[in-house]
Amino acid sequence: MTDARLYAATSQLTRGPLERAESGRRQAAILTPEGVELRVELAERGERAGAFLIDALIIVAAVIALVFLTLYLMTALEGYALAAGLVVFFFIRTFYFAFFELLWRGRTPGKRLIGLRVIDRAGGPLRPSSIVVRNLLREIEVFLPLSVMMMPETVGNAAWIRLFMTIWIGIFALMPLFNRQGLRVGDMVAGTLVVASPKAALLPDLVEKAVSPASIRRMQPASVDQRFTFTPQQLEHYGIYELQTLEAVLRRDDVHASQTRREIAERIRKKIGWTEEQAGWDLRYDGLVTEFLQAFYVAQRAHLEHKMLFGKRRRDKHDKV
């Protein structure tokens, strides 16, 4: 994504009005690289604090277990056990959040329990570099000042150091209160956003409608099965991220949904080489556009799931497997 595109997407999120979703959460619009506007529900500040508390308790439990294990091993390994324990503690404290967000695509155990997820603020795939950056900055925000507070005598006057570190942590901890999107400093630098994970599963009739061309036959009776049969080569252009974007487009029911579907169908048609002459229909019929997208969604998902059975997981269209 170009700098101009990133700036435009970020400006839209920052300056645009924040509506309320049916769940009561604040809602914002994100423009994906495909040009699709998606509505996301922003995580509430209390939810983020709760998720962080859960993760912090898990880290504390892991550190306590590590201390007991180190004490047990010191009788046999002496100084080596202490050195190994300090190294493990460093990795737990520094890479806990980044590890799980990389493993679970933007979720830690705390976020998973609360129902939150980290996404790219410009609408693209969540990049590993963004995850690492946002979590390394947590060292500056929280863990580094906490470490100094525990050993203030090594730095200088204990009372002043504790006061200064308390103010330091307070400023960074309260940063989400000073912007409408609830962004941490790490989110601002990494270009990320924490949103509520959608709990709704795939609409039960979405696949059924896609594989049942009865409604299409009523409009265009000729060559329905051939018209909506896709070759493996045509399904190799997209990955999981694009599939999720298409699902979000199919779920939309706002006033701009038809126009958005028509634009997406045109992009897919050109990408996979699906000509109007071969298909026997054009994109002026909204019903046919929707059925085409549903059929492509089902075929694309089946194609990706088949590849995953053989250990090939394609995250997005840029991922080569």
- Using an 8 Å Cβ cutoff, are 54 and 109 in contact? yes
- Look up residue 38 and give its amino acid: L
| CB contact at 8 A, 303 and 235 | yes
Per-residue pLDDT of the chain (321 residues; tens, 9 = 90+): 444 444 444 444 444 556 666 666 788 777 766 566 677 888 888 899 999 999 999 999 999 998 888 888 777 776 677 788 888 888 888 899 999 999 988 899 999 999 999 988 887 778 899 999 999 888 888 877 777 777 656 556 777 777 887 888 888 878 888 888 888 889 999 999 998 876 544 444 444 444 443 433 333 333 334 567 788 888 888 888 888 888 888 887 777 788 888 888 888 888 888 765 555 555 556 667 888 888 888 888 888 877 776 667 777 777 776
The radius of gyration of the chain's CA atoms, rounded to the nearest angstrom, is 25
Nearest to 178 by CA among 14, 4, 319: 14
- Are 110 and 55 in contact by the 8 Å Cβ rule? The answer is yes
Taking the mean position of all CA atoms in its chain, how far away is CA 107? 8
Angle at 177 between CA 141 and CA 39, to 5 degrees: 105
Q: Are 33 and 123 in contact (CB under 8 A)?
A: yes
Instruction: Determine the pLDDT at residue 140.
Output: 84
- Ordered by start, the domain boundaries in the chain are 45-196, 204-308
Structure pTM? Answer: 0.61
Query: Contact, 30 vs 181, CB < 8 A?
Result: no
pLDDT at 180: 80
Residue type, 81: A
* Torsion, Cα of 259, 260, 261, 262 (10° steps): 50
Q: How far apart are CA 273 and CA 132, in angstroms?
A: 38
Distance CA 147, CA 151 (A): 7
Sign of CA dihedral 156, 158, 161, 165: positive
Contact 110, 52 (CB under 8 A): yes
What are phi and psi for residue 61, nearest 5 degrees? Answer: -60, -40
